[in-house]
Amino acid sequence: MMHEYILKRLAVMVPVLLCGSLITFGLVFLSPGDIGEMMADSEASAMGVMATPEMVAAIKEHYGLNDPIHVQYLKWLSNALHGDLGRSFSTHKPVLKEFLDHLGPTLILNLAGILIALCIAIPLGVLSAVKKNTVIDHLCRVYVMLEISMPTFLLALMLLWFLSVKYDIFPLYGYGVGWKDQLWHLALPAIAMGTSMTGSLMRLTRTSMLETLGQGYILTARAKGLTEFIVISKHALRNALNPVVTMIGLFFGHILTGSVIIESIFSWPGNGNLFLASISARDYPMIMGFTLIFMALFVLVTLITDVSYSLVDPRIQYEKS
């Protein structure tokens, strides 16, 4: 059953991603400016000369920019499927290589961020639900309200100002050299990123937990004389985690877009920062390549999240429909 479900979902991914590639490609044609001239300028600046009209014509001919749109699209798509997403206008390196080079820092930052968010949000969310309508619960909810209203950049800049500028505990920005130094540099961005996720995660955990605590089997567990800790941790929490898994999946799906702001504030050498730089420089091959890669990753992560439900909750079966 499970295999069939996964295969079916993978099959659906194909048309979705094809449309995604069409959107990405179409955006370039809607954009102002002549892409041939931009490519010529980029190549010329790499050689340290000015682009001539002859060069523009030669580049257009070489890259097939004079071909009909559908031919260009199919060529681009076929190249993309072979792992060739073109070269960056600004660094002249292959887009895929740029992406892979910057993937590590982004992944580390996001994983650390999500881990911190989980460590704060789940215990507090559970506590808030268990102690419903007490002072603890009210404090937690005030925190949630303030956190979800606070822009990520404000939170990050406040942390930066307080912990780096005022008290000089953490480094201001950068990636560091050697694993100890890197961990030191990672701390502040990861805390900022993790904290920015806690609000929505806490709220979700609390809701889900409250719902679960009202179920019959919790009453049964208590009636059996189990300790409150066992009831909460084994009986309630496990069942309450389902929506939380969805949200974590969503966080992973937004890895690029979610970390753009944090990466730019802390000059973190990740994909988010690179994507932002490409947008500011209107580096089309990079924008197209990154958009395509992240669309694919997002769709894949959504699938993994859906499948992982049955791991968290074995009652969920994927049946033929």
Partner 1 sequence: MHDSDPNTKLTTIQHVKRNLATILKRGNRAVPVKTRAEESTSFWRQGLHELCKDRLALIGLAMLFMLIMIAVFAPYLAPYDPDDIDISQRLQWPSLDHLLGTDKFGRDVLSRIIFGARLSLLMPAIIVVISLTIGTTVGLLSGFKGGLVDSLLMRVVDIKSSFPGLLLTLAIIGMLGPGLFNAVIAMSISGWTGYARIIRGLTLSLKEKEFVEAAKALGTSDSYILLRHILPNVISPVVLLATLNMAGAILSLAGLGFLGLGAQPPTAEWGSMLSDSQGLIFSAPYLVFIPGVAIMITVLAFNLLGDGLRDAMDPMSGGMVKEV
Residue 16 touching partner 1 (CB under 8 A)? yes
Residue 299 touching partner 1 (CB under 8 A)? yes
**278 CB contacts (<8 Å, ≥6 apart)?**
88, 90, 286, 287, 290
Q: What type of residue is 1?
A: M
- The span from the CA of 188 to the CA of 62, in Å, is 47
Find, among 202, 189, 178, 203, the residue nearest to 110 by Cα.
189
Residue 160 touching partner 1 (CB under 8 A)? yes
Part in contact with partner 1 (CB under 8 A); list of ranges 14-22, 98-106, 107-115, 217-225: 14-22
- The span from the CA of 192 to the CA of 161, in Å, is 12
Part in contact with partner 1 (CB under 8 A); list of ranges 37-45, 114-122, 176-184, 196-204: 196-204
Q: Among residues 6, 9, 28, 222, which is the contact residue for partner 1, using CB under 8 A?
A: 28
Q: Among residues 19, 119, 169, 183, which is the contact residue for partner 1, using CB under 8 A?
A: 19
- The span from the CA of 249 to the CA of 307, in Å, is 11
**267 CB contacts (<8 Å, ≥6 apart)?**
173, 174, 273
What is residue 170's DSSP assignment? S
Part in contact with partner 1 (CB under 8 A); list of ranges 58-66, 74-82, 145-153, 176-184: 145-153
According to CB under 8 A, which residues from 217 to 246 bind partner 1?
none
- # of chain residues touching partner 1 (CB under 8 A): 58
Residue 149 touching partner 1 (CB under 8 A)? yes
Residue 124 touching partner 1 (CB under 8 A)? no
Tokens standing for 167? Answer: 């008290």
**206 CB contacts (<8 Å, ≥6 apart)?**
125, 126, 128, 129, 140
Q: Among residues 38, 40, 260, 262, which is the contact residue for partner 1, using CB under 8 A?
A: 260
Query: Which one, 207 or 308, has the nearer CB to partner 1?
Result: 207
- The span from the CA of 34 to the CA of 28, in Å, is 10
- The span from the CA of 203 to the CA of 200, in Å, is 5
Q: Which residues bind partner 1 (CB under 8 A)?
A: 15-16, 19-20, 23-24, 27-28, 30-32, 141, 145-146, 148-154, 157-158, 160-161, 165, 200, 203-204, 206-207, 210-211, 213-214, 253-254, 256-258, 260-261, 264-265, 275-276, 278-280, 282, 284, 287, 291, 294-295, 298-299, 302
